[in-house]
Amino acid sequence: METLKTKILPGFLFLMAALPFLFTSCTKEETDLRDEITGQYNYTVKIYMEDGTDLVYVGDQGNVGDITGTMRVTKNSGDPGVLDFYDGNVLMFHGVDVKDAGNAIVFDIPDQEAWIGPGNIQVVGYKYWDFNSLSYHGAFLYADKSVEIAFTARVMDVDTGLVMILTASRH
C-alpha cells in the first residue's frame, strides 16, 4: 500500500505566516469623536418660548437678554464617552451618547444641575437635532466647527417653560 504524501508549497507557507499581519493591517483604528469637539469656544445662549410647534425668541423682551461667554469643551477623564462643557472653571453640563451623523457629531445632555451664566439651574436636554429618525440635544457641525445645544431649565424643580439654545463658535 502506497502512502499518500502531500507537498506543501513554499508560497502557501508564506501566505499562512502573513495572514495575521494582513488582518491586523485591515482593521480600522477606533477614533474618539470627542477629539473633534474639544477646544475653546465663544458662546451665546438665546432664550425661546414654545408656541405650539415653533420656538419664539424672547431675548429681546423686557429684562430677558442673551447670555454670552467663553466655554471650554473637554473629554471627561472619568468616563470615556462623556464631554464636559466649562465656562471658565465652572462645569456648565455634560454631553453623552456621542455619535457621528455624517456632517455633524450629535450628542445628548442628560438631566443635571448646571451653571449657565450667573445662575444655577437644572438643565434638561431639548430634542433639537434629528438624525436617523432620532432626535438629539446637541451637535458639533463639521462645516464651521460650531456647537449648538438645546435645553430647557427648571429652577427649584419648577419648569420655566423656556427653551435655551446655546450656539458656540471655536476661536
d(CA 152, CA 55): 12
Burial of residue 160, with CB atoms counted within 10 A of its CB: 0-12 exposed, 13-18 middle, 19 or more buried: middle
Q: What number does CATH give the domain 34-170? A: 2.40.128
Per the model's pLDDT, the better-predicted residue between 15 and 103 turns out to be 103
Phi-psi region of 145 (alpha: psi -120 to 50; beta: other; left: phi over 0): left
Specify which of 50-64, 105-119, 145-159 reaches the highest per-range mean pLDDT: 145-159
Quick one: average pLDDT of 63-68?
82
What does the pLDDT read at residue 29? Answer: 60
With bands split at pLDDT 50, 70 and 90, how would you rate the model's confidence at 12?
very low
CB distance 139 to 153 below 8 Å:
no
Average confidence score pLDDT of the chain: 82
What does the pLDDT read at residue 146? Answer: 97
pLDDT digits (tens, 9 = 90+) for 73-114: 999 999 989 999 999 998 888 999 999 999 999 999 999 987
CA angle 111, 112, 114 (to 5 degrees): 135
Min mean pLDDT across 17-31, 38-52, 112-126 is at 17-31
